[in-house]
Structure 1
Amino acid sequence: METRCISGWFLLCLLSVLTSSSLSFSVSECSQIIGIEGQNVTLPFKYDAKSHGLQHICWGKGIIPSSGGCDNEIISTDGSEVTRRSSVRYQLLGELKTGDVTLTISNITEKDSGTYGCRVQYVGWFNDEKYHVSLTIEKARVPTTSQTSANVTITPQTMDNHDHGPVTTTSTEYSSTLYYSESKSETRGHNLAVILGSILLVLTGVGIVSVLVMRKRWERVAMVLQM
């Protein structure tokens, strides 16, 4: 939650003071709070419970009237505990016995924006303490994701080891360089050599057998001629 307090809302303060019947006893303060939609927001306020004792207080949406309680009351206490509330979204999480009546609004929306007022109801006429705050709700920022472009280089290899040049493509989110492994070409070459060697051995064997057969035939022919 992003909260910024800016004192000196002159017009709001002036309006609050003018609605008070006695300027000598009624105290009006005002500030501005900025909250983020969907989060919780706190409207801080604390009265002097040590000097004046525990007092009835109320929070309302809108300007506090010159007399009475709070218009559009959303929560109130008898000084020591919460007595009424219009919704569970409104809470007083501070120490009430110390005068901390900070208002917390949970899961805020744009409808929650506007002026809020707190009234401390002191005994006597026209001496209540008033506090006003203007709440502005901003929309939650949606995080943006950026994609980075990177080049992927692929170098193909052929059996004749001719380099046909790199092939460059574009990829996103990551970059890497891929190469065809030369081991494939070496494996193919090795297999080819084995095949050729096997063929050569077979041909050599066939040739040797052929020579032996021809030799035996010549020996038989020679023996016949001698007879």
Structure 2
Amino acid sequence: MESSQEKNQSNMNNDDLKSYFCKLTGYTLSTILYVRNFFTENSYWPLDFGPIRLRILKKSSNEAVENLINYMNNCFQPLKRQYLKTLIMEIHDSFDAIESYELNYDYSLQLNDDHLGFPRKNDIDLMLNLLDTLEHMKSIPKNRHYHVVFKLYYNDTAPLDYEPFGFVPHKSKNNETLNIIHNITTREQLFSIQIKSREENSKDPDYDHQESNRRFQQLYRNS
């Protein structure tokens, strides 16, 4: 039989893991949107993350940002219940998805160093790897209309009819028009990111990277 002390420790670790996933998810999505030139500078607030100064979406900057933050918060609800297996953020132009960022979660593993410490070295390495990948992608063309789509996929513990507020059922996460650019994971494989893009959207040395490079450089505190 599990003692009350062991149960309390288990609940604490479980709560820490859910908080960890929510923070890392929010930081990851904000970082992607920032580097990919979504929204103005004043739509973000700075957050020191080891040697990186991240830019995190902030409320009340404008209606579009507010709506996006609300959808991100709704994504956290199945995450807090440990229902969420995969979260996909797609960037669409007027026709179809041009980029896809697939975040995967494993609740069965334990943090292998102090679970109260955040960010950990593993998380900093993951974010640096993500930034390196984004820096080597072709900039999104300007003067087009883009929108963000979130897709959620659940594990077997989720009720069959479960959907958080603002979401409706959909069938498949496969998008054959996109190619895998990179897979990034924490050392424990608790949290992983798969990046996909249209083939023509991969790095082009003759393409103008000025704006993306400017934002990218601002993410380093010593720059």
Please report the TM-score for the alignment, with normalisation by the length of structure 1: 0.22
Please report the TM-score for the alignment, with normalisation by the length of structure 2: 0.22
The structure whose residues are more often helix, as a share, is 2
Query: Which of structures 1 and 2 has the bigger CA Rg?
Result: 1
The structure whose residues are more often strand, as a share, is 1
